Amino acid sequence: MSETLAQPSDATPRNDDLAQSGPPIFRDAPSSVSFKKLRKRLLRNVRQAVDSFGMVPDDARTRPVRWLVCLSGGKDSYTLLAALLDMKWQGLLPVDLIACNLDQGQPGFPKEILPTYLAKAGVPYRIETKDTYSIVTEKVPESQTYCALCSRLRRGILYRIAREEGCEAVVLGHHRDDALETFMMNLFHGGRLASMPPKLVNDDGDLFVLRPLLLCAENDIRKFSDAMQFPIIPCNLCGSQDGLQREAMKKMLDEWEKTHPGRRQVMFRALMHARPSHLADPKLFDFAGLDVGNAPKP
């Protein structure tokens, strides 16, 4: 129920060396060639996603645009924040960013980690405290997963905060492997071809939901997070529920990747090259109206 809004204590580089390396969040980043290549690859993927899926409005350089970057304290959201700050530092992202963490009231949650880290990194942030933990654990039996209810509650709160902060987009840290796992879950359990879109409009029609990491591999994000030594905060709410459908999909993809390296990238490429005429959904393609004279080109 408490909320904190803070501005950075030092939002600008302190010396020439820092200015050459990037924004303050990279202050203690490794200087190795391998890390620089990794950082460049992640930035290239994020920039491609931002550009390809039209995440930044065309008039962003002529009017204020603000994004709410959702920060859970995990490797993905830290990497998301670092990549977006890197783009801003290079003049590639004409958007104001505010980091937001939702303290859901889990027992033992280390409240001081994120404010301390974000202040040191010079990032404007807001900490919102709402005890969704008690709601989820009360409503959902221990034998069932908390994820669905937890995510709905969290999403509603983040939408409200985005509106209060004047943001037009809620930015999430889902990556390529998340999208593939969701696709597999929908395929095997939901009976539909669907995944995580890079950009969508919320149900109320007033906010965008963006996923700039969607072209990034989880393995790259893990390496980047380890190298940056982000202060990771584990999720104590669902961390003990690893035997879930998503975990099964992850293991399946891992096995395919071991026997056929690069399989994940090929599969994700398929999500970007759908051919409705070669599926079986009459709502996407007019099979009834198909004639020999107007057949689609392969």
Q: Rounded to two decimals, what is the model's pTM?
A: 0.86
Average pLDDT over residues 272-295: 89
Residue pLDDT, tens place only, 114-168: 999 999 999 999 998 877 666 666 655 565 555 665 577 788 899 999 999 999 9
Are the C-beta atoms of 225 and 75 separated by less than 8 Å? yes
pLDDT in tens, 4-57: 556 554 444 433 343 447 899 999 999 999 999 999 999 999 999 999 999 999
**pLDDT confidence band for 247 (50 / 70 / 90):** confident
- The domains located in the chain, with CATH, are 3-9+21-278 (3.40.50.620)
Q: Any idea what the Cα angle at residue 206 is, between residues 45 and 85, rounded to 5°? A: 30
Average pLDDT, the chain: 86
What CA–CA distance (Å, rounded) separates 177 from 189? 18
DSSP string, 122-182: T--EEEEE--HHHHHHHHS-TTS-SHHHHHHHHHHHHHHHHHHTT-SEEE----HHHHHHH
Sign (positive or negative) of CA dihedral 40, 44, 45, 49: positive
- The pLDDT value given to residue 109: 79
Give me the amino acid identity at 68.
L
Of the chain, the percentage scoring pLDDT greater than 70 comes to: 81
| Percent with pLDDT over 90 in the chain | 69
